[in-house]
Amino acid sequence: MKEQFPFHSALVTGASSGLGAALCRELVAQGCTVWGTSRDSARIDIKGVIPISVDLAHAEPITDFVREMQLELGQIDLLINNAGYGVFGNLEDNAPEDIHDQVELMLTAPALLTQAVLPGMKARKDGCIANISSLAARFPLPGMCLYNASKSGLSAFSRCLADELREYGISVMDVQPGDFRSGFMEATHNTGNGDAAWLAMEKHMAKAPDADQIAREIIKAIAKRRKGTISVGSFFQAKLAPFAQYILPGFVTRFFQRIYMSRAGHPSLGAWL
């Protein structure tokens, strides 16, 4: 007999494509009422998902959305902070608006949305907050300073929040996917610098698991009410590298970065690290 999914309603950000869309499909299959956000709700074309338009990269729309969400959406058992995008290139080539938008989207928005759902979860002494960070929080690569920093901040936010909510029965997950195939590379703004690191990412993405597989792993972890840091993806990235880093953190971080870059097949990639 199939075990019943523990949550009945979910809010997923960044739901129009990639991992967000895959998570929505999995949640609908579990019988959840699902709300999905996108800057353009018309792009959310998933049966059973209630689309919501909101630009989470700017404070004023976030604040308005949080206020409306508290009044209109009702009980939210599961919040998945998934929305994000990358800007690739040397830091000095990042436009000020890109720096601002990445931090707002991947750090400020999750904090504000979490703040909005917490009163209800605390009152029920139940709920789950899954923050989609990245393995880049542990193994940052050149060319994505703000992405790496924002994801690292989100991971730290999750760990601190888990301690704050320990007595309330609320699961907080710091989900750190490795590489997976989605529209991430196409959506990433590439400034044209750091070509070696970009090549490494493209090579790894082409061989990586797809977004549907990653979504299934995440939903399985949510169903088991797992807490803490959850690594998902290929065996090397999601299991072997984090385990080795736990034993020898400094050495393994640099070693993993070198291996990641050199496996792209470019003889000069190792010189980056």
Query: Which of 147, 155, 158, 171 is an active site residue?
Result: 147
Identify whether 181 is part of a domain: yes
Rounded Cα distance, 156 and 110, in Å: 12
Q: What is the mean pLDDT of the chain?
A: 83
Please determine, for residue 242, whether its predicted confidence score (pLDDT) is greater than 70: no
How many CA atoms within 13 Å lie on the side-chain side of 260? 29
**Does residue 31 fall inside a structural domain?**
yes
What DSSP designation does 36 have?
Answer: E
Dmax of the chain from CA atoms?
A: 57
* Distance of alpha carbon 272 from alpha carbon 193, whole angstroms: 13
Task: Residue 4: count other Cβ atoms within 10 Å of its Cβ.
Answer: 10
Strands (E), 150-194: 170-177, 189-190
pLDDT for 32-63, tens place per residue? 999 999 999 999 999 999 999 999 988 778 87
Chain-centroid distance of CA 187 in Å reads 15
Q: Which helix (H) or strand (E) holds 100?
A: helix 96-103
Catalytic entry in 16, 17, 134, 158: 134
38, 151, 158, 182: which one is catalytic?
151
Q: What is the mean pLDDT of residues 88-113?
A: 89
Token pair recorded at residue 249: 């953190």
Has residue 250 been placed in a domain? Answer: no
- The fraction of the chain above a pLDDT of 90, given in percent, is 51
Q: Is 134 a catalytic residue?
A: yes
State yes or no: is 147 an active-site residue. yes
Q: Which range scores top for mean pLDDT: 68-72, 121-125, 238-242, 247-251?
A: 121-125
Reported pTM: 0.85
**Separation of alpha carbons 65 and 55, rounded Å:** 9
Whether 263 is covered by a domain: the verdict is: no
Number of domains within the chain: 1
Pick the more confident residue, 257 or 271: 257
pLDDT at residue 123 in the model? 95
* Least confident interval from 65-79, 158-172, 242-256: 242-256
Least confident of 7-16, 46-55, 187-196, 206-215: 187-196
Residue 271 domain-assigned (yes or no): no
**Over 80: is that where the pLDDT of 124 sits?**
yes
Pick the more confident residue, 80 or 59: 80
- For residue 112, the tally of other CB atoms under 10 A from its CB is 17
Closest-CA residue to 62 (of 17, 111, 98, 19): 111
Query: 20 lies in a domain?
Result: yes
**Which is nearest to 263 in space by CA: 233, 237, 230, 231?**
237
How many residues does this entry show for the chain?
Answer: 273
Residue 218 falls within a domain, yes or no?
A: yes
**CATH code of the domain covering residue 162:** 3.40.50.720
- Beta pairing class for 170-177 and 228-232: parallel
Report yes or no on 25 lying in a domain: yes
- Structural domain containing residue 20: 9-234
182 is catalytic: no
pLDDT at residue 224 is higher than 90? yes
